[in-house]
Each structure stands twice: as C-alpha cells, then as structure tokens.
Amino acid sequence: MTERLTHETIGETLVLDTRGLSCPEPVLATKAMLSRMHSGKIIVLLDSPAARDNVMRVARNAGWQVTCTSDTHEFRLEISREAR
Amino acid sequence: MMERKGIVLAGVVVGLLGAALALLGNPVNMGICVICFLRDTAGALGLHRAAAVQYIRPEIPGFVLGAFVSALLLKELRPRGGSSPAIRFLIATLVSISALVFLGCPLRMVLRLAAGDLNALWGLAGFVAGVFLGVVFLRNGYSLGRSHALAAPNRVIALLLALALLLLLVAKPPFIFSSSTGPGSMRAAVAVSLFAGLLAGFVAQRTRLCTMGGVRDLILIRDYHLISGFAALFGVALGVNIMSGAFNLGFANQPVAHQDALYNLLGMAGADLGSAMLGGCPLRQFILAGEGDQDALITVFGLFFGASAAHNFGLAASASGVPLAGKAAAVAIILVLSAMAYAFGSGAEISAKKSSQEVQAG
C-alpha cells in the first residue's frame, strides 16, 4: 500500500486518495506518508469533513502547510513543506 | 485555537447535561448512556421482556435530530454507505452486549467515574485496553473498506426514524411498553430529555466529539484534540456531582453497577475494541447517522439489536452481578471481534498515484 509508493515522489506530486475511508484511516495514511518525507508536497483527497479536519490538524501540528479546496462534498488538501 | 475551544465546550455541554439529567429524573449516574437508552427504547418497543428497562428515551431521537440540524446548517448532510454494512451490524451487536456486561457505554463510564463509582475504574482500564487493541489492528491495516455516495433520500432516513420514535412516545399506543419500576421508570421530563439530546447531538456533530476517539487518537497519532473534550466532560460532571452532593466515592452500593472487576474490565474492553473497529463510540454513530451516513445507521440498528439480545439471551449484567452466560459472552466477544479485525486486516487498498498535473477532487 502506501509504503511502496512513498519512494516515488521526487519531482512529482503524490496524490493520496482516501475518499470513502472512515476515520482514522485517512489521517493514518497521510501521517505514514508525511513521516517518510522531510519536505515536498502531497495532495490528499477526502470526502468527510471530520477526516479533513483531522488530517489538517495533524499535518499542521507536524509543521506542514496545508491548503484546502472543496468541491461540495469532496476536499482536496495540498500539504507541503519547504526543504530546510 | 477555535477548534480546541469547540471540542472543550462540547465536552463541557455533554458533561453538564449528563450530570444534570440524573438530577432531573434520569437514573442516578445514568444521565446519558447511549446503550442503556437504546436498551430501554428496545424494551418499550417490545423487543425484549425486561420489565424494569422499557421506555422510549427522548434523548435517542434527540441525538439524531440535533446532529441533523447541525449538519444541515453546516451543509454536511452526506448520504453515504456501503462499507461492509452487515459486518458493521454484527460488530455493533457485540458492542452493545459487551457494554451491557459492564453496564454502560463509554460515556456512562465517564459519568460513573465522575460520580465516584470506582467500579468504573476497571471499565476505564478495559476501555484503554480495548482501544489499544483496536489501534494495533488499525496500524496493521484493518479497514472495512470504502463507502460511497448514495441517493439523496438516504440523508433523511435516520431523521424520519427519530421522528417516528417521538411520535410513538407522545401518542403512547397500547403496544408500547413502559416501566413502572426500575431504571426505566426514572426519567426526566420528555421536553427536558429531548432538548438535552438535541443539544448533545448538535454540539457533538459540530465538534466530532467521540469518547473512544479521544483515547484512540492519543495512542495512534499523539493527537490531544478529542481527549481534551473527554477530559472536559469528566471535569464538569465531577464538579456538578460534588456541588450537588451526588458524588459518592466507593465500590459498594453504586447505582446500576456491579462490583465484578474482571467483567467490568472485559465488558468495556470488548465494547471499545468494537467501537474502534467501527470508527466511533455509540454516540458518534448516532451523530454520523444523523448526517446521512447509512453505515452508521446500520451500526445503530446493530446496537439496538444487541441491546435487545443482551436481555433476551440473559447476557446483560445487573446490580446483582454478571450472569454466567454474560461472562462467557464477554470473553467470546473479544475473541470474535479480534478474529473479525484480523480477517479485515487489509480491507481497503489506499490508492496513491503520482501526478505532475493538477488533480481535481472528484
């Protein structure tokens, strides 16, 4: 699952599709991916407001910048951090 | 931070309601208990024959109505479902039976502790152990799979069922049972209970308050958000109980509680392992159902069925203790839930794809 995909991010944006998964699965998947990255950008797709809030909070607490765009019932989070 | 204030405020409101409802007529230490109230409601509908626990608790439709109104205002009504519904029903059935071996849902466990019932400490230990076990399964990829958007009318099914229950409560047709003694006869006024349920449902929807989620997020992702609501709930209920003289510290003579430490622990462990597998405590399932989540509504049906089965099959505990069948059930439930969680060990493939293009949600 996520483990084998996290090594392929250089130069491109990884998109994590967590739509339809119930909490805490989206936040777990995002956290697992972020923990393997020091910097860069990923996009997380969600369709639950609760999961959106959780993913945003956890990413921000871990020092990542998050922007959210929404399309009625679906959300697209851009999570990024610049290399230090 | 606003979000943190919101969850703490929700904990304060639910803690206040839980303590106050017990003072206003609900059973002592049972101001709010989702499973007990489901059990009472199932009894009122004639689904079990325990005469002491039969009453359509207005809080039950109140939770759904409050969540529905909040979700409507926030534009969060989302008709969804299809994530392993039958297995959710079965897990919920086991959660209910296990909770009735302890004698309460996680919310009542907190309210019992806040009223000085030390038997609930064993429940708390089981609660943490159950959630911890659930976290182990989640870390290993446990998932019931994805849900999908459903047709719009699904968003009002829970609402209509809640209104039907209220209609039965008010109309009192002859086939509805009503306890004249025991916990089922102890009730706050209908309007008070309904308003309390509505308010609890409303704030819980806004803030995603979840008792199991508090401990789960703390263990799983070191996130203190939900647990701060849980702590506020306990603190406020404790304060109200001390001020009102309802605080009674000890193991003996606690209302609607037994002193069998092992089964207080195992009962709550099974209930919370199951809640972790379902993604939320019983209260949270009501809130999600109110938002239009059909998987959560199926879960509520399972909780309802389990509460009836616990009494029909002689599994539920009472103040006098846990029956032998209930003890066997408590152990079996943990084993069966663990086997289910193992079987669903990699239920959902989380797809991740690379893209150098803009990817639109939807």
Chain A touched by B143 (CB under 8 Å): yes
* Number of Cβ pairs < 8 A linking chain A and chain B: 109
Look at residue B351 in the predicted model and tell me its pLDDT.
Answer: 64
The residue type at B17: L
For B244-289, what is each residue's pLDDT tens digit?
999 999 999 999 999 999 999 999 999 999 999 999 999 999 999 9
Q: A28 to chain B: which residues are within 8 Å by CB?
A: 138-139, 220-221
Whether residue B355 and residue A74 make contact (CB cut-off 8 A), yes or no, is no
SS3 B294: helix
Look at residue A3 in the predicted model and tell me its pLDDT.
Answer: 39
Tell me if B55 sits within 8 A of B192, measured CB to CB: no
Instruction: For the sheet with A40-46, list strands across it.
Output: A65-71, A74-81, A40-46, A13-17, B351-355
Look at residue A2 in the predicted model and tell me its pLDDT.
Answer: 41
Look at residue B347 in the predicted model and tell me its pLDDT.
Answer: 61
* Burial class of residue B228 (count of CB atoms within 10 Å of its CB; 0-12, 13-18, 19+): middle
Q: A17 to chain B: which residues are within 8 Å by CB?
A: 350-353
Look at residue B221 in the predicted model and tell me its pLDDT.
Answer: 87
Q: Is the peptide bond before A24 cis (omega within 30 degrees of 0)?
A: yes
Whether residue B356 and residue A13 make contact (CB cut-off 8 A), yes or no, is yes
Contacts of B328 (CB under 8 A, 6+ apart): none
Look at residue B322 in the predicted model and tell me its pLDDT.
Answer: 98
Whether residue B350 and residue A18 make contact (CB cut-off 8 A), yes or no, is yes
Look at residue B333 in the predicted model and tell me its pLDDT.
Answer: 98
> How large a percentage of chain B has pLDDT more than 70?
95
* Cα B356 from Cα B362, distance rounded (Å): 17
> How large a percentage of chain B has pLDDT more than 90?
91
For A36-79, what is each residue's pLDDT tens digit?
888 899 999 999 888 999 999 999 999 999 999 987 778 999 99
User: What distance in Å separates residue B76's CA from the closest CA in chain A?
Assistant: 7
Chain A touched by B138 (CB under 8 Å): yes
Instruction: Answer yes or no: is pLDDT of A4 > 70.
Output: no
Q: Please give the C-alpha separations between residue B264 and each of A49, B119, B260, B292, B359, in angstroms, as whole numbers.
A: 35, 7, 6, 33, 50
Q: B354 to chain A: which residues are within 8 Å by CB?
A: 5, 8-9, 12-15
pLDDT level of residue A8 (50, 70, 90 thresholds): very low
Q: B76 to chain A: which residues are within 8 Å by CB?
A: 49
Token output for A34: 């972020």
For B33-54, what is each residue's pLDDT tens digit?
999 999 999 999 999 999 999 9
Nearest CA-CA partner of B242 in B15, B14, B5 = B15
Whether residue B361 and residue A58 make contact (CB cut-off 8 A), yes or no, is no
Chain A touched by B249 (CB under 8 Å): no
- Please name the residue that has the structure tokens 């290993």: B140
Alpha carbon B351 to its chain centroid, in Å, reads 31
* Of A5 and B82, more confident: B82
Look at residue A5 in the predicted model and tell me its pLDDT.
Answer: 34
Nearest CA-CA partner of B57 in B44, B73, B72 = B44
Instruction: Answer yes or no: is pLDDT of A6 > 50.
Output: no
For B157-194, what is each residue's pLDDT tens digit?
999 999 999 999 999 999 999 999 999 999 999 999 99
Q: Which residues of chain B have pLDDT under 50?
A: 357-362
SS3 A74: strand
Chain B touched by A39 (CB under 8 Å): no
- ipTM, two decimals: 0.83
CB-closest option in A6, A9, A45 to B361: A45
CB-closest option in B80, B354, B361 to A14: B354
Look at residue A11 in the predicted model and tell me its pLDDT.
Answer: 53
Chain A touched by B88 (CB under 8 Å): no
pLDDT level of residue A23 (50, 70, 90 thresholds): confident
Sign (positive/negative) of CA torsion B261, B262, B267, B269? Answer: positive
Whether residue B359 and residue A45 make contact (CB cut-off 8 A), yes or no, is yes
